[in-house]
């Protein structure tokens, strides 16, 4: 099969790789219909995060058709169209049943052999994969793919930030996760949604997804703007979808006392000052999103065409041109890149 490997910073190649096979009897092999490049794939691309070993198989977001299952797999069957998540989970342990599948006691990479490829081995298939009600129409595929990570992550951020009716929500970050955090906030009934973005195209998509206000300032100026828009108090709920020190502080300082920050940007060198945290009086909750918790509901919303999160894919490339996709996302000329094997 063909698959994308990262050899080092700025060096992704699509090469011939061995077809994955069933290793554990709880595995499934999925023929990938569509995969994508994640904002988190850019950290090693930029040399800001080391890869465990090179060349590294890339990709953890995917939808496709089950081609083979191990003998212990009972819930998904060959021919099912499935959506997977970036961590494999059994969905039965105590942590999973509490809704924290990304911290499953059996947690493993969800796309064990890399999803930016023609085939992928998915461990713990019963717990990890969600089958759609049938084969999807082609126009639903991008949205189902978004559910695999960015939509589920934005959704978790909104839930972690306690978004709900009557609330004012601020969203730090205008990448795919931040934009889908806006969509989630609208679905969860937020009254006012303030997107923080400096890019006209992303602002437009944020408004389409439900943002009522846009703030272009960032850092302390952005905080001042959020406070000005909320009677000096700060937002009830703030979504942090970047992972840098500036973004995290912007999120905490934009939140009113008693409010909630949902942080889902993968943290890179973020350090919190204990005194400031103590006196802020805000709730912090986040981490790797348990997308699997929300997946059945999200697939249903997409299937009934109530939401269209696939709009975050503004560049579609054949798998062979994966490197071009990394470049486009790194330069921010694309919000999110969909790859078709």
Which residues here bind Zn ion, judged by CB under 5 A?
Answer: 89-90, 93, 96, 104
- Of 96 and 328, nearer to Zn ion (C-beta) is 96
The rounded distance, in Å, linking the Cα atoms of 71 and 174 is 43
Burial class (CB in 10 A: 0-12, 13-18, 19+), 185: buried
Residue number, 70 or 99, with CB nearest to Zn ion: 99
Which is closer to Zn ion, CB of 104 or CB of 190? Answer: 104
In terms of CB distance, is 98 or 204 closer to Zn ion?
98
Q: Are 302 and 279 in contact (CB under 8 A)?
A: no
Distance CA 167, CA 237 (A): 7
181's tokens: 């955090």
Contact residues for 326 (Cβ-Cβ < 8 A; gap 6+):
10, 12, 37, 41, 42, 45, 337
We find the least distance from the C-beta atom of residue 96 to Zn ion, in angstroms, to be 3
What is the torsional sign of CA 165, 299, 141, 39? positive
Query: Which of 6, 16, 132, 17 lies closest to 65, judged by CA?
Result: 132
As measured in angstroms, the least distance from the Cβ of 80 to Zn ion is 21
Minimum CB separation of residue 98 from Zn ion in Å reads 9
Question: Would you give the DSSP letter of residue 200?
Answer: H
Is residue 263 within 8 A of residue 240, CB to CB? The reply is yes
The closest alpha carbon to 164, from 311, 263, 286, 262, belongs to 262
Compare residues 105 and 272 and give the one whose CB is closer to Zn ion. 105
**Residue 104 or 247 with smaller CB distance to Zn ion:** 104
């Amino acid at each position: 099969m063909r698959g994308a490997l990262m050899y080092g910073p700025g060096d992704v190649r699509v090469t011939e790789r061995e077809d994955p096979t069933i290793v554990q009897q709880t595995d499934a092999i999925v023929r990938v219909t569509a995969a994508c490049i994640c904002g988190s794939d850019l950290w090693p691309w930029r040399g800001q995060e080391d890869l465990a070993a090179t060349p590294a198989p890339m990709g953890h977001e995917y939808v496709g058709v089950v081609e083979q299952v191990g003998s212990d797999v009972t819930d998904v069957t060959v021919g099912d169209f499935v959506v997977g998540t970036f961590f494999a989970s059994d969905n039965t342990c105590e942590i999973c049943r509490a809704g924290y599948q990304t911290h499953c006691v059996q947690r493993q990479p969800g796309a064990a052999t890399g999803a930016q490829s023609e085939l992928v081995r998915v461990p713990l298939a019963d717990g990890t994969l969600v089958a759609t009600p049938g084969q999807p129409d082609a126009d639903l595929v991008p949205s189902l793919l978004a559910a695999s990570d960015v939509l589920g992550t934005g959704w978790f951020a909104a839930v972690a930030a306690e978004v709900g009716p009557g609330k004012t929500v601020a969203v730090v970050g205008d990448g795919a996760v931040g934009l889908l955090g806006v969509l989630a906030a609208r679905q969860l009934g937020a009254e006012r949604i303030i997107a923080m973005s400096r890019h006209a195209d992303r602002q437009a998509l944020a408004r389409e997804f439900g943002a009522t206000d846009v703030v272009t300032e960032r850092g302390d100026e952005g905080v001042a703007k959020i406070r000005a828009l909320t009677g000096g108090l700060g937002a009830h709920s703030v979504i942090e979808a970047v992972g840098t020190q500036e973004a995290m502080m912007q999120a905490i300082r934009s939140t009113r006392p008693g409010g909630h920050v949902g942080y889902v940007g993968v943290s890179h060198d973020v350090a919190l000052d204990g005194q400031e945290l103590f006196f802020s009086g805000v709730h912090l909750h986040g981490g790797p999103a348990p997308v699997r918790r929300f997946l059945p509901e999200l697939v249903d919303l997409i299937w009934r065409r109530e939401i269209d999160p696939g709009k975050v894919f503004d560049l579609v490339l054949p798998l062979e041109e994966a490197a071009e996709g990394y470049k486009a996302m790194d330069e921010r000329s694309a919000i999110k890149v969909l790859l078709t094997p």
